[in-house]
Each structure stands twice: as structure tokens, then as C-alpha cells.
Structure 1
Amino acid sequence: MVSFLRSGLRPVGPVWQGATWLIALGVLAPMVSLGWLALGADFAHWQHLARHVLPDAALNTGLLLAGVGLLVLIVGTGCAWLVTACDFPGRGLLHWALLLPLAMPAYIVAFAYLDLLHPIGPVQGALRWLLGYDSPRQWRLPDLRSMGGAIFVLGFVLYPYVYMTARAMFMTQPAHLMEAARSLGETRWGAFCRVALPMARPALAVGLSLALLETLNDIGASEFLGVNTLTVSVYTTWITRSDLAGAAQIACSMLLAVVLLVWLERQGRSRQRFASAQRMRAIQPRRLHGPLAWGATAAAALPVLIGFAAPAAYLAWETLKRLRQGAGISAGLWASLGNTLGLALGVTLLSVAAGLVVAWATRTGISTRSPARWPARVAALGYAVPGTVLAIGLLTPALALDAGFARLFGMDGLPLMGQGMVLVAACVIRFLVMPVGGIEAGLARIPPTLEQASRLLGENTAGTLRRVHLPLLRPAIATSALLVFVDAMKELPATLLLRPADFDTLATWLYAEAARGTYEEGAIAALCIVVAGLVPVVLLARSQLRMRR
């Protein structure tokens, strides 16, 4: 109560607090159910997994995380420093174009490169022609279906997480610290390694943890490229072997990996304190000339080419080729598009509504250690949990609720599972952190005096929210809703496991086309997802432009 009085904000009533705790319990329910399901299986399950499944899957997952982590750190940090500290041709375009791979889900990039880099595909065919070879038997590139191929694809798709956070940190670092290092005899490289890089460590830890969590959540790219990770093992154990208990046990081991990643991120940001008594002057980029300038342009453009331009051009070409042939778009693909838009819209509405409740009930003015802040922290857990783990955890409560509805209302079948409600719940849990964080940031910018004036004029809590805060929160709500909508369109793991029968989204349609080795209509579905994904990337680019100015 003291913190509210100091900030000028009044605590919300028990109805709002109760609603936030219900939402938080809903986020925790799949994890509790998952543990119960895993512990309820007999010991033979654990022995079989420990001997035949977990060693290979855990090793592959560890190697993939290590390789992707190293690649995203090198590419993301290097590009962020290059466009911050150097001026070269194309820098104004590349500083936001480096965000474009965020619009490309990893499974779409893997789908595109499997065709582009096929032994008889266009890239290897052109290289053999240049080198004077006639056949793939004479010369061919290493197979993309490998651990190295998975690291290559995921690294060049996910590096923007590190690039985005590192660039924001580099842009706000005081220039006089780098100048002091240079005056003490350090080279430019030495000043970067000993001053700029250590100061950016908290931002690098955040970006790296996000990239690794996305790697752990991935199922499409890993399966397409033949890497048996823990996520793929959960899917195959449940769907192929019909072993739900075994899948739950593997999912529990994935939760341990998630906890380890979150702990590493916290450790990377702990005990980092930097302060400056001088007025901050941003780093001024050094003008490069000649071959060095064009080399910097090529180095910054290469990740954009690999992570976005090449696969996007391939998808556009395949789509155009199919339309020119008069094949058109099948009715099934149109149905998948409608299902995708309906699912994304439902997830967006529920996520924003739940995020508004949590953010309003735990709005600024509360101490970060207050119990009232716990629902917001619990809501953030959903994004860290892979979609496959959420699906396993939601299955048992959903089946129990379906059985209760069937007995109570005399319904047949599975009303919740069959209508896609469980899939919507999984996506809401996974993406709830976006509206909670966005609306909390919006509330922090609204002066407490506006709420005080509203309450003095006789408005209650709900009236103050409706007539004062909601109009001012429209930009934050719209941005959060857009991010949730696009991510729900791209979601693959949870959709594969929880979708109703005969229900396809663009992501599952693409997955099925790639599994069959048919790329024609899969390219159209992938292009639709990429076009939708460009919208939040444009918003991020605009925010970076404003920060730069």
C-alpha cells in the first residue's frame, strides 16, 4: 500500500487481483500437469528413455544450442558494432535490413534452402557449371541435412535477437569511455574488446537467451534437416509411438534446459553496473574508405542475403511460377489461410484482454518484490516454454474438461479439443508476455495525476481504465496485438500437436508439403507467412530509426 501512495496510484480491487491470479494459475497449469503425467509413468519408461532416447537427443540439442549460440553472437554482435561504429556505403539501409530475418520462421528458411541447395538444385548446378563439372557425382556441396546445416539455418535466422539488443546498447554507450581507452594506448579492436563488449554483456545475454529459446522451441527446421533434438523426440514419441507418458518425460527434461537457459541469462546480467558522471555523447561512426568500406558493406549485407533475401526470392519465384502455369491456389490452401487468420485473431483478442488485466492489476508503482507483481512474472514464463511442452501439459487437463462437458451437457466427442479451444489456450499462454510487457510499458508513461483526477471526479477502477487509460494505451495495445497476431500465424509446434482433425494452418500446410517433398503450394503458404511477418519488423525498424535520431 505504501508504494501505491508514493506513486499516486490506488490498488485495484479483489476482483482484478483474483483475475490476475487465475491467469497466472492458467499459465502454470500445463507445467504442473506435465510433471504429474511424467511422474505417474512407471520406472521402465525412464529406463528406456535414459538408454535409447535421451542421450542422442540431449547431445544433439546441446550441440545445436552451442553452435547456434556461437553463430548468433558472432554475427549479431559483429553487425551491431559495424553499423554503430563505422560509416560505409549502404549503412543507412543495412542498419534496419539486418532485422529482416525476424520475418522468416526457421522452418521456412530450411524449407527454401532444402530446394535451393539440393544437389540438382539451382545453386549447386550453377557452381558445377562454373567449375566445369557435369554431374553431382563429380562435385557437390556438403549435405544440408546435418547438424552443420541446422546450425547454419537457425543461426542466420535468429541472429537479429542479438543484433537488436546489442545495437541498442552500443548506441547508448558514452563515447568518452572509448576515447579514454584509445588515449591509454589501446587499439580500436582492443577498446572494443575491453570496453564496449563488457558493457554490452547484459544486452548480449538477453539476445542470446531469446535466440536459444527459439532454437529449443523449433521443430520444423530440425526435423527437415534430420537433427533429432529433444523437441523432435517429444513429437515423434507422442505422435509416431503413441507414448504420451514418454513424451511427457522428455518434455520435463526440456523444461530443465529452459530453466538452465533462463538462469544463464540472469547470470549474464547480474552484477553489471555502469555509471558516468559526464553528459553522455554517443559514439560517432568512423568513415571508411576504399576496399575497407566496401568490405564492411559486404560483411553487413551477407547475413541479410542468407537469412532473408535468398529464401524470400526463392519463395516469390516459386509462387510466381505456379501462378503463371495456371495451377492457381487450391481450395485446401485457401481453407488453411482462413484457419490461420481465425486462429490468430482469436489468440490475439484473448491474449490482449488477459494482458490488459494483468498489466492493469500490477501497474507501475508496485515494488518489483511485491507479491502483486508475481502474476506478471508468471505470465512471462509461457514464452520460455517450448510449444511442444505446452501441448503435452495441456492435453491431460483438456481431456478431463472434455469428459466433464460431455457428462454435464450430453455432448459427444471432444468439444474443447475438437473446436480448437485447447490450441488457442496454448498460444495464449505462449504469447501472453507480449501484451503484458507492452501494456505495462504504456502504463508507465501515463502520469499518476490523471488517475487521481479521475478518481476525485467519482470514477471507479473500471471507469478510470475505460475512460482515461484505454484511449492513451491504444498505440501499446495495437503494437502488442500485431506482434501476437503474427507470431500466432507462424506457430508450428503447438499447432501440430493440438490442432483438431482436418484443421490445417499455413504453417502445418507447409510442414506437410515439405514432409511429402512437394514444394509448389508450400512456397505459397510460406510466402504468406513471410509477408505477415514483415509488419512487426517494419515497426522495429521505425523504432530504431527514432532512437538513432
Structure 2
Amino acid sequence: MHIIGLLALFIALPILGVLGAWTGLDAAGIDALQQQLETVLPGYLATSGWLALLVTLGVIVVGAGTAVTTSLFEFRGKRFLSWALLLPMAMPAYVCAYAYTDFLQYAGPVQTALRGWMPGLRFDVRGLTGAIFLFVFTLYPYAYLLARNALSERGVHLMEAARMLGTPLRSRIWRVALPLARPALMAGAALALMETLADYGVSAYFGLTTFTTGIYKAWMVMDDRLAAAQYASVLLLFVALLLWVERREQQRMRFATVRGYRGDDGAEARLPQLRGGRVLLAWLVCGLPVLLGFVLPVLILLKLLTGEMSYLSSAAEVGETALFDGARYLGWVWNSFRFGGMAALAAIVLALGLSLAQRAGDLPRTRRRMLQAVTRLAAMGYAIPGSVIAIGILLPLAWVQARFPASSAGVLLTASSAGVIYAYLVRFTAVAVQSVESGYTRIPPSFDEAARMLGSGRARIAWLLHMPLLWRSLATAALMVFVDVVKELPATLLLRPFNTDTLAVIAHNLARDERLGEAALPALSIVAVGLIPVLLVTRALDGRNRRQSAGA
């Protein structure tokens, strides 16, 4: 148990490293902080603040509109739209940014056609407005999914009760459905907001001055470790506040999602059937987010990829050397899958150990509480941006290297895959822990007690009893960590070994160099990998709906 606690503390170490940067603040550091307050910090605060506020509002509006439409009404095509609305979860915002930059460029077909109608019109998607648009239409599924679950479980019956009391449809939506879904919407918006604050790809590609780009610039360009840690700690404070809000709303959701409620006659309430123009309106409300957040970016990337393949074929025919070849692509795929597989394996082992340690019934109360506290601290990593975690790893290493020049700790973590895997564990162990703990809730403690009475130790119980019952949860945890690792960008950029690129890194680098045709293939590969958990979530929701229909 001591080893498990130490491992959890090791996972939480980068968070403590960022906060510990303030302990060594001297007069020079205070002067540097004062200069930052007068120069760059107001810009970081303003850009990040506007981005956070407007993305939150947009996610709530889109999530609420789509959830209400698919949960409380019947119309043709509803089943298709219900799962299609989850597809933008597979589209990283930075990949979407590459696609729309090519599609909406000044010489592109859209702006050319608009100038034909309104001469002199010109706009640039690479700005704060474009970033807000991308984040809203790639992150709204967080709010949609949670609000849809809340409304499907109880909203139908309350809406039916309000209808029987003579309340008009508009009032039923505003006074019954939306207040019921508000905790779920706020929880989903908090998750989307954490993803927005953690983003580096969109902000860097669009040239926005956010905290994540400031952290990267302070460390990699200005070589100012203290400034990078200060920016990271401010961002960490925002994340902690958002975590508190999200947990508070999740607790309120428990009171808003009561299962099994039916009318007095035992029959399920019937949903209103939309007809005519209202069906078109429902398709517009639900279809537009899917089109803008997934379908259109994928089509743009496919067009770019087709053009790149045509260029490669033409270059091969005339004997020119292409900049992009299959061997290099396979190398990027191998690095992404290698990092993903190693991180997934380590994460499920650590999650299994943490969950098993907390399940032990003979732990003293004090030790149990300490283990739970350390586990919660380690679980914060998923909500913390990858750039903050990277700084939390690099800062202590820099201190050790300065104090002990002969130490090899810095080389081990920055010149090999160990540092990248460590950052992935800090970032994504919480995903594995949540999945494994949900699996353990389905194993009664009486099973463990019976096994101990038969003389089995903890290791034997875990291997012969828990593992066969937890294999689905472990597989899900490994898959989720793997997909998250493939999409992760800022931590990989800061910590990857020399000449080791992943799909995310190479897509970012090629897009930054305006080689969007070459960036299309790695970008589409990331989207394809991201579709796996989306399809699993869709399958799980369909199975639950079928069980509810059968129970009715």
C-alpha cells in the first residue's frame, strides 16, 4: 500500500512542482513579475478570458438546443442525428483549424464568391472569432451528452405533466426542460472550458496570446523558467476553480436524474411528433453542428489529401523527390502508437493498483484518507493542460540539474521516451482510474471476503477474481488513454526526444509551415483514431435505450 501511495504522489508531483515555483521568488523574480503585469499578462488574461466566456456561452446554447430537440421531440431522422451529434468529439480543434484555414483563405472559393456579391469584403478565420467558432462546434458534445441524459431520464415526464396542466410548448421548454438540464449543461460547459484553456494547437496556429502559448514561449523561446511557472500556476488556479464548479454541478445532477419514473398508469410518456416546417427546423438545429464540427472539416481534409496524392504522383512521374513519403508517415504512426500503447499499459496498471488499494477493507482510517487524498490529487491531471504538466516536470529537473550537474535525471526524462510517458500518465491516469473504479462498483465486496476466508491473498484475489470481471473496464480504460495520447499536442511538443515526432506534432508543424496538403493525412489519421471511443459511446447509448424501451 505504501508503494501505491508513493506512485500516486509521483503522478501528482508535477502539480506540486508548478506551485513550488513561487517559494523561490526573490527580488529579481518580483521585478520580472511586475514587468509581466505591465506588458504581456493583461493580453493573456484578456484573450483567455474572452475565449473562455464566449466558448462557454456557445457550448451551452448549442448543447441545450441539440439536447432539447433530440430528447423531447420525435421526428424523422432523430436516431441518426442523436449519434451523429457526437462525431465532433473525434475532431481535435487544432485539426479543424487546419481545415477551415484552407477553406476560408482569401483566394479560396468561399471568400472569392462573397467578394463577387459584396466587393471589398474580407475576413480572416485565424483570429479570436475563428477560434471561438472552432471550439464551440468541436466541444459542444460535452454539454449535449450530459444534458441529453438528464432530459431523457426525467424531462419527458415532467414535460408531459406540464402539457396536461395547459402550459404552452415554449413555456414548457423554458420553465421545465432547461432548468432541469441546467446542472448538466454547466458540467458539460465546464469540461469544454477546461479543454479550451488546455488547447495549444489552435492558439499557436492562429497567433493568439493565451496562457498556453505564453507558457510555451516563456520556456522554449525566452528561456524564462520562472515566468513559465507563473503562467502555469495562474492557469492551474483557473482549472482548480473549474473543477470545483464541475463537481458541484455533477452533485446537483444526481438530484435531477432520477431513473425509473413513470406515470401513474405505468406507461411511458409519448414525445410530441414534429411535422412540416418544424422537422426542417429540428434538422437545422441538430444537423448544422454536425456539418460544421465534423463533416465539412473531414471533406476539406480529404480534398487536401487528394490534391497532395495527385502532386506526389506527378512528382514521381517526372522524377522529382517528394517531401512526403510513406516511410516517414509510418514512423509518425509508430511513434504515436508506441507512446499510446506504453502509456495505456502503465495507466491501467496504476489505476488497478490505486483502485485495489482503496478497496482493501483492513486499511486504517487515517491511511485510507491519505490514499484517497493523494489519488484525488493525481486525478486532477486530466483537467490540467499538457503545457502545465510539462513545465511541472521540467522545472524540478532544471533545479536538480543546476544543483547536481552530474545527475542523469534530466537526460533520462528529456532525451528518452520516459519523460513523455510520465507526462501522459500525469495527464490521463484519471481516465483509467474512473473506468476501473466504475468496474469495481459491479464487484460486491462479499466476493473478496469469501476469497480471503478461503485463504487467498490480495495478489491472488486481484489476478484470479478481479481481472476476469474487470476486463471490459480495463480495455475501455486502455482505449481511452490510447486515444487521448494520440491527440495530445503541447506536452508532446515540450518533452518529446529529439527527432521523434508523432501524428499530432507533425500535423501541427506542417500546418504551421503552411503545408496543409501534407498535414491532411496525419490529421485525418488522428480523427480516425478519435472515432473509436465515439462509436463505443454511441453503441452504449443505443444499448441503454433498447433496454429502457424493453422495460417499458
Is the 8 Å Cα contact of residues 399 and 414 (structure 1) preserved in structure 2?
no
Which of the residues 155, 175, 183 maps onto 2:156?
175
Name the residue aligned to 2:12.
28
For residue 262 of structure 2, what is the aligned residue in structure 1? 280
Distance 1:242 1:21, change over 3 A: same
1: distance between equivalents of 2:80 and 2:359? 38
Aligned to 2:209, the other structure's residue is in SS state coil
- Structure 2 unpaired stretches of 5+: 314-321, 547-552
Question: Aligned pair in 2 of structure 1 residues 25, 95: CA closer, same or farther (>3 Å)?
Answer: same
The 5 Å alignment of 1:84-233 reads: 84-128=71-115, 131=117, 138-173=119-154, 175-233=156-214
User: How far 1:516 moved relative to its partner?
Assistant: 1.0
**Which of the residues 497, 500, 503 maps onto 1:503?**
500
| Partner deviation per Cα, 1:211-233 (whole Å, 9 max, x = no partner) | 00000000111122232111111
CA drift of 1:501 comes to: 1.6
Give distance in 1, aligned partners of 2:417 and 2:515. 27
Helix, strand or coil: the match of 1:201?
A: helix
Q: Which residue is equivalent to 1:486?
A: 483
Q: Is the 8 A contact 1:88 1:294 kept in 2?
A: no
Distance 1:337 1:267 in 2: 40
Residues of 1 paired with 2:178 and 2:409: CA distance?
A: 61
Structure 1 residue aligned with 2:374: 375
Structure 2 residue corresponding to 1:240, chosen from 221, 229, 246: 221
Deviation, 1:344, is 0.9
State percent identity of aligned pairs: 38
On the 8 A contact 1:439/1:473 being kept in 2, the answer is: yes
Aligned in 2, Cα 1:199/1:413: closer, same or farther, shift over 3 Å?
closer
Q: Is residue 61 from structure 1 mapped to residue 61 from structure 2 by the alignment?
A: no
How far apart are the structure 2 equivalents of 1:363 and 1:196? 39
**CA separation of 1:274/1:331 partners in 2, compared to 1, >3 Å: closer, same or farther?**
closer
Contact 1:88 1:297 in 2 (8 A): no
Greater shift in the superposed pair: 430-439 or 238-247:
238-247
Q: 2:542 aligns with which of 524, 531, 545?
A: 545
Q: Deviations over 1:440-484 (max 9, x none)?
A: 100101123322332222211110110011011011110111010
Partners of 2:520 and 2:63 lie apart in 1 by: 28
| Counterpart position of 1:457 | 454
Kept in 2, the 8 Å contact 1:114–1:144? The answer is yes
Aligned mates of 1:230, 1:527 — CA distance in 2: 28
- Taking the aligned partners of 2:252 and 2:416, their CA distance within structure 1 comes to 49
Return the offset for 1:396. 2.7
Q: 2:338 aligns with which of 335, 342, 364?
A: 342
What is the CA–CA distance in structure 2 between the aligned matches of 1:185 and 1:378, rounded to whole Å? 50
The structural deviation recorded for 1:202 is 2.4
Contact preservation (8 Å) 2:480, 2:533: yes
State the TM-score, normalizing by the size of structure 2: 0.89
Equivalent residue number for residue 397 of structure 1: 396
Q: What is the aligned counterpart of 2:413 among 407, 411, 416?
A: 416
Distance 1:315 1:271 in 2: 41
Relative to structure 1, is the Cα distance of residues 416 and 405 closer, same or farther in structure 2, using a 3 angstrom cutoff?
A: farther
- Counterpart in the other structure of 1:298: 284
TM-score by length of 1: 0.90
Match of 2:494, SS state, is helix
User: Secondary structure at the residue paired with 1:285?
Assistant: coil
Mapped contact 2:215–2:387 kept (Cα < 8 A): yes
- CA distance change for structure 1 residues 274 and 210 in 2, over 3 Å: closer, same or farther? closer
For residue 494 of structure 1, report the CA deviation from its aligned partner. 0.6
Does structure 2 retain, via aligned residues, the 8 Å contact 1:72–1:162? yes
Bigger mean CA offset, 317-326 vs 483-492: 317-326
Deviations 1:476-508 (A, max 9, x none): 110111010010000001111111221211111
Structure 2: distance between partners of 1:279 and 1:354? 39
Q: Is the 8 A contact 2:4 2:357 kept in 1?
A: yes
Partner of 1:12: none
**In structure 2, distance between residues paired with 1:412 and 1:253:** 27
Q: Which moved more, 1:259-268 or 1:464-473?
A: 259-268
Q: Note closer, same or farther for the CA distance 1:251–1:533 as it changes in structure 2 (3 Å cut).
A: same
Which position in structure 2 is the counterpart of 1:11?
A: none
Residue in 2 that maps onto 1:250 = 231
1:24 partner amino acid: A
**Partner SS state of residue 213, structure 1:** helix
Cα distance between partner residues in 2 of 1:146 and 1:277: 44
The answer to whether the Cα contact below 8 Å between 1:351 and 1:435 also exists between their aligned partners in 2 is: yes
Deviation at 1:285, TM superposition (A): 2.7
CA distance change for structure 1 residues 343 and 170 in 2, over 3 Å: closer, same or farther? same
The verdict on how the C-alpha distance between 1:404 and 1:452 changes in structure 2, with shifts beyond 3 A counting, is: farther
Please give the root-mean-square deviation of Cα atoms over the aligned residues, in Å. Answer: 2.5
- Contact kept? 2:68, 2:177, Cα under 8 Å: no
Q: Tell me if the contact between 1:101 and 1:156 (Cα under 8 Å) persists in the aligned partners.
A: yes
Take 2:436 and 2:495, find their aligned partners in 1: how far apart are those partners?
A: 29
Q: Distance in 2 between matches of 1:277 and 1:106?
A: 35
The one of 290, 293, 304 equivalent to 1:318 is 304
- Unaligned ranges ≥5, structure 1: 1-16
